Amino acid sequence: MNQPHYNIIATLITDSKSLLETIEHGHLLSNAIADILADTHVDDKYAAIEMQLIKFNYYHTEFEEYFFSTIKFKVEQCSTIADKLYFLLLKRKMIAQVVQQPGATNSGTKPNIKEVFENWLTQEIYFYEKVAQFCPTQCETKKPKENTFTKVNCNLSVDQLAILIRAAATVHVILAPSINKIFKTLAPYFTSINTADISYDSMRSKSYAAEKKDKTVVIEKLQKMISVVEEL
């Protein structure tokens, strides 16, 4: 399965007011999303927004599909049944602990999204528990494969590369649940002009404290890229 696109969350980020104005407590949910986006201490903004949507019982077909596809993708990334079960159990626990907004559960004929997700996760957990019961070898830990990839040499410093990646993530050129996830995924595949092994944590922190000279370099590189695109 390919990694799911986070279209519903991205849309809510860019156009939350118009999407939420027709639902009960929509203004409160819109404000909650804005607070999450403004909080620099929240790395996984998608997960935080997801919890708010559950809190306010935002029942929407696209959100439901987003949730299911995201969970399925993450489960497939787990190497053993034990890892899959741990992830699913942890996710169900997080959702079970969400205290919903008073009145948000009274949405007429629409089901409670929290109950929908909890029931779905329970069925997934039941399935993998049965797999573990009848196929115990599936629970064995697999040896990690050796990394055989070739790193990409980048003619930028770590600081400059961090700025570029953060900008790409901010405008949704790169889609992922969080900025932290993006840096953690990309850092091992790059070398900078002065660093062979880039620490994703260092890259992430640099993106929050960009220096003017580094921003200038990145802007110049982007301007050159724009010129190349215009000439294509």
30, 53 contact by CB (below 8 A)? no
Confidence grade of residue 5 (pLDDT, cut at 50, 70, 90): very low
- What is the pLDDT at residue 4? 47
Q: Examine the domain organization and report whether 52 and 22 are in the same domain.
A: yes
* Lowest-pLDDT choice from 5-14, 19-28, 114-123: 5-14
Domain-located, residue 179: yes
Confidence grade of residue 18 (pLDDT, cut at 50, 70, 90): low
Chain centroid to CA 161: 20
The candidate with the shortest Cα–Cα distance to 140, out of 82, 64, 96, 63, is: 82
Give yes or no for residue 74 having a pLDDT over 80: yes
Q: Residue 49, SS3?
A: helix
Local structure of residue 150 (DSSP, 8 states): P
The amino acid sitting at 176 is A
Domain-located, residue 192: yes
The residue segments making up the domain with residue 17 are 7-139
Q: From residue 8, give the alpha-carbon distance in Å to each of 49, 114, 123, 158, 230.
A: 11, 17, 24, 32, 31
Separation between Cα atoms, residue 40 and residue 12, nearest integer Å: 18
Confidence grade of residue 1 (pLDDT, cut at 50, 70, 90): very low
The crossing angle, in degrees rounded to 10, of helices 45-55 and 7-20 is 50
Of 91, 117, 139, which one is at a domain's C-terminal end? Answer: 139
Confidence grade of residue 174 (pLDDT, cut at 50, 70, 90): confident
Q: Tell me whether residue 112 is exposed, middle or buried, using C-beta atoms within 10 angstroms of its C-beta: 0 to 12, 13 to 18, 19 or more.
A: middle
- What is the pLDDT at residue 93? 93
The backbone torsions φ and ψ at residue 175, rounded to the nearest 5 degrees and listed phi first, read -110, 130
Who's near 61: CB < 8 A, 6+ residues apart? none
Structure tokens at 31: 């404000």
Q: Examine the domain organization and report whether 117 and 186 are in the same domain.
A: no
* Lowest-pLDDT choice from 68-72, 91-95, 139-143: 139-143
Domains contained in the chain, number: 2
Domain-located, residue 147: no
Mean pLDDT of 30-50: 78
Q: Examine the domain organization and report whether 28 and 91 are in the same domain.
A: yes
Q: Examine the domain organization and report whether 60 and 133 are in the same domain.
A: yes
Of 112, 139, 166, which one is at a domain's C-terminal end? Answer: 139
Confidence grade of residue 124 (pLDDT, cut at 50, 70, 90): very high
- What is the pLDDT at residue 11? 64
Q: Examine the domain organization and report whether 129 and 66 are in the same domain.
A: yes
- As a whole number, the mean pLDDT across the chain is 78
Rounded to 10 degrees, the C-alpha dihedral 66/67/68/71 comes to 120
- What is the pLDDT at residue 23? 60
Q: Examine the domain organization and report whether 64 and 94 are in the same domain.
A: yes
Q: Examine the domain organization and report whether 128 and 185 are in the same domain.
A: no
Of 116, 139, 162, which one is at a domain's C-terminal end? Answer: 139
